[in-house]
Amino acid sequence: TKVTNNLKDIVVRNSTDGDLVSAAVVSTGETLIGNSYFANNTGSYGGAIYVTGAGLTVENTVFEGNNATFGGAIYAYEATDILVDNCKFENNSAVGVGSGNPAVGGAISIAAGNSPVVATTSVVIRNSDFIGNNATGGGAIATNKIACDVEIDNCIFNENVGGNGAGAVYLYYTNKTVISDSNFTANKAGSGSNGGAIFATSSDLEVNGVVFESNAADNYGGAIYSANGELIVNGSSFINR
């Protein structure tokens, strides 16, 4: 049975039902969220949205001040296909409540298990702004053990913070990520850490037409830190690095 949740023109504020469990909205079926607003919601797995075992599309939606251990606004675990388009994520955080594991993905966390039951086939994040989000790793976005390619296009990342690395984007054992026509400005990796804007480990990364300005890491890679994966940079600018 295929279950479809169409959530349109909704406003969710100050939900605490997800504390130490999951998000304000939890779905195991195909989910479409559009023209909506999520603010100040909390949970362990996605402060606003948690989806598993199915696809997720989020369009024209604002996420502000949400908080979780994994994915301050959105947590997708073994979701089939993911599209985030024309959204704004501001001041969301992954702070590690209720878990001894590093909190990742201040705005979005996408993950799979070691032997996923459901494979993620597509991840596209485009035309979206990530401003002032923070996490232990991946101040804005974190991916973990994703076997498909990830596309990030025409996005803005400003003043996001990854306390232990990856000020904006954290890629961990992810097949290949292509970031195009985007701006990373004043993102920061915390004390003793790497990757002021992007941290990629055991993940291939291609960067096309991206502007990096005034990003900072306390250790290595003020803009990009890449380890044990292929790194390709085309037509990009690095300013005040």
Provide the pLDDT for residue 101. 59
35: its two tokens? 């023209």
How far apart, in whole angstroms, are the C-alpha atoms of residue 39 and residue 216? Answer: 29
Ranges in the chain, pLDDT < 70: 1-22, 96-102, 241
- Which amino acid appears at position 54 of this protein? A
**CB neighbours (10 Å) of residue 213?**
17
DSSP of 203-229: SEEEEES-EEES-EESSS-SSEEEESS
| pLDDT at res. 17 | 46
Q: What is the pLDDT of residue 132?
A: 98
Bridge partners, residue 189, by sequence:
162, 217
Q: For residues 69 and 106, what is the distance between their CA atoms, to the nearest angstrom?
A: 9
Q: CA torsion 43→201→119→10, rounded to 10°?
A: 30
Tens-digit pLDDT profile for residues 140-163? 999 999 989 999 999 999 999 999
Distance (Å, whole) CA 68 – CA 42: 6
Instruction: Determine the pLDDT at residue 22.
Output: 60
Cβ atoms of 122 and 96 within 8 Å: the answer is no
- List the helix and strand counts (H, then E) for the chain: 0, 34
Q: Which residues contact 209 (CB under 8 A, 6 or more apart)?
A: 180, 181, 234, 235, 236
Give residue 118's pLDDT: 79
Place of tokens 């955080």: 93
Interatomic CA distance for residues 213 and 74, integer angstroms: 27
Give the pLDDT confidence score for residue 5 in this predicted structure: 43
The Cα–Cα gap between 93 and 168 comes to: 12
Q: Is 117 exposed, middle or buried (0-12, 13-18, 19+ CB in 10 A)?
A: exposed
User: Hey, which residues does 149 pair with through a beta bridge?
Assistant: 176
Whole-number pLDDT of residue 96 = 62
